[in-house]
Structure 1
Amino acid sequence: MKVTKLLAVAGLATAGFAFANSPAAPTAKADPAKGKVLVEQVCAACHGADGNSVAAANPSLAGQHADYIVKQLTEFKSGARKNPIMMGMAAPLSPEDMKNVGAYFSEQKIKPRDAADKALLPEGKKIFKGGVASTKIPACMACHGPSGAGIPAQYPRLGGQHAGYIVAQMTAFRSGERANNTVMRDIALKMTDAQIKAVAEYISGLR
């Protein structure tokens, strides 16, 4: 009888070990087609059906890294990133929805734009490519790449973005209104309004 009980216990322990060490179920692959439907229903009014927004207040998302979009939507939903409109938009989205939307936007082509104030380009280029040593502002391209393409899953694509949107975000980082990236907050705190505007103009014209 004791032997039978011991074998039963051993069997349960073995089964538990097997479950604990069994591979996790694969996560569903992102579906851009489903993302397109969500974009057309929810996102297109502000960001454009193809991710190219026409208003500087709304970022263009075409060509943006899918993982970055998912991260931002997740943080809007959790409240880690504050924006009343986007917090409301993200609230009903599931993690799968976010992945699908990210996949769709990442496949779209961003439409190139030209800087509105070309007089600021030399200063903007200097900051973007070399930073400002005297105030310890790092070169933007160290993280976002020489063409502003960014590094997937780490740093967002910036090239071709609205200059006005970049200015707004850098200003929000500096004031603490946007607090979901401590590195960018530290950098923005070192930058003047003129420097932010110059680098934003340069970035907007990157291809």
Structure 2
Amino acid sequence: MNRLCKSLQVLQVVAAASLLGWAAQTRAADSPKPDINRGQAIATQVCASCHGADGNSASGSFPKLAGQHEAYLVKQLKDFKVQAGAQAAARSNPIMAGMAAALSDSDMVNVAAYFAAQTPKPGVARDAATVPVGQKIYRAGIAEKGVPACASCHGPAGSGIPVQYPRISGQWADYTVAQLHAFAQGPGARNNNDAMHGIASRLSDNEIKAVADYVAGLH
């Protein structure tokens, strides 16, 4: 019964996130068309040293942004800023806080559109021993822990859903591990997704590493 309640709670949070995503998508339809050229200039001058000029970063210290959904990137950039009425940013990262602070809302839209239009380079799973565990978590979840399948939100190939859920296929395993730990911690680390906080906090370190490595080779 407890497992059923936990699963229902996760589904309720996911459903709420979907409704918020739909509302954001509706608002986005009324936004001005992004300036890709301006976005490329920002990417080259500001973002390239960490994320690569085309959004394909060179190491797992920084996420790949190429092919990521535009609206998702905009939201994350805004979450690095302290919003009106808040005491702290939803995502804690001193470097990104400084970068985001220098960008206007239109800058964020432009650079997000540029990265979204780039082609992501595929990644690989590096630990064959943990692939079966990672695959099980991604495809089926862990019922006894109330962990839903990652694929239920991020899709069977990890392509995500615009606005609501990010593309995660081919992402560096080290980065995914770091973000799952941040989600598990919540306030003070990454406090911008209640559903992911609940899910990540139920995963062990070994389970996090396994599913992150599996996702790195997903395509």
Could you tell me the TM-score, scaled by structure 2's length?
0.81
1:206 has 2:218 as partner = yes
1:187 has 2:199 as partner = yes
The change in CA–CA distance for 1:63 and 1:135 in structure 2 (over 3 A counts) is same
Which residue does 2:17 correspond to in 1? none
1:160 has 2:164 as partner = no
The change in CA–CA distance for 1:165 and 1:28 in structure 2 (over 3 A counts) is same
1:103 has 2:143 as partner = no
| TM-superposition CA deviations, 1:156-201 (whole Å, max 9, x none) | 0000000000000001111222111111000011100011000001
Amino acid at match of 1:183: A
Which residue does 1:133 correspond to in 2? 143
Structure 2: which 5+ residue stretches go unaligned? 1-29, 83-88
The 5 Å alignment of 1:29-178 reads: 29-78=33-82, 79-176=89-186, 177-178=189-190
Distance (Å, rounded) in 2 between the aligned partners of 1:45 and 1:38: 12
- Post-superposition offset of 1:27: 3.7
Distance (Å, rounded) in 2 between the aligned partners of 1:27 and 1:139: 33
- Post-superposition offset of 1:120: 1.0
- Post-superposition offset of 1:32: 1.2
- Post-superposition offset of 1:28: 2.2
Distance (Å, rounded) in 2 between the aligned partners of 1:138 and 1:161: 20
Amino acid at match of 2:214: Y
Distance (Å, rounded) in 2 between the aligned partners of 1:173 and 1:77: 18
Distance (Å, rounded) in 2 between the aligned partners of 1:171 and 1:27: 34
- Post-superposition offset of 1:77: 1.9
Greater RCO structure (CA 8 Å; 6+ sep): 2
Distance (Å, rounded) in 2 between the aligned partners of 1:156 and 1:44: 21
Structure 1: which 5+ residue stretches go unaligned? 1-25
> Percent same amino acid at aligned positions?
54
SS at match of 2:171: coil
Q: Which consecutive segments of 4 or more residues in structure 1 shift more than 2 A?
A: none
Moved more, 185-194 or 73-82: 73-82
Q: Which protein is bigger by CA-based radius of gyration? A: 1
Amino acid at match of 2:60: A
Distance (Å, rounded) in 2 between the aligned partners of 1:42 and 1:98: 12
- Post-superposition offset of 1:43: 0.3
SS at match of 2:78: helix
Distance (Å, rounded) in 2 between the aligned partners of 1:194 and 1:55: 21
SS at match of 2:53: coil
SS at match of 1:118: coil
